Structure 1
């Protein structure tokens, strides 16, 4: 953890923009992954419901 904070502080002193980007980037990746997973889940759920309705 100390190593991470040292690296973080060095980054911050070196370039705040780069540091901010490194902080924001994981959030962007996470939201992209979560959004695509949710989209797939939602679509597959709709598809399954449609199949069930068609079977009855």
Structure 2
């Protein structure tokens, strides 16, 4: 996943297009559910800066 840190979008080339990505905070709460776009990017606009765990899955 890159770039890190990011302000607009991150690329996650190992996750197929259409899959969902969840951002979890430090205590494991899901803060955002995002979708992988056609160019392997995930928008992080509006995500508060911080440390997140990324969970990718096929919904």
Q: TM-score range by the shorter chain?
A: under 0.3
TM-score (norm 2): 0.19
- Larger RCO (CA under 8 A, 6+ residues apart): 2
Higher-helix-fraction structure: 1
Rg bigger for which structure? 1
Higher-strand-fraction structure: 2
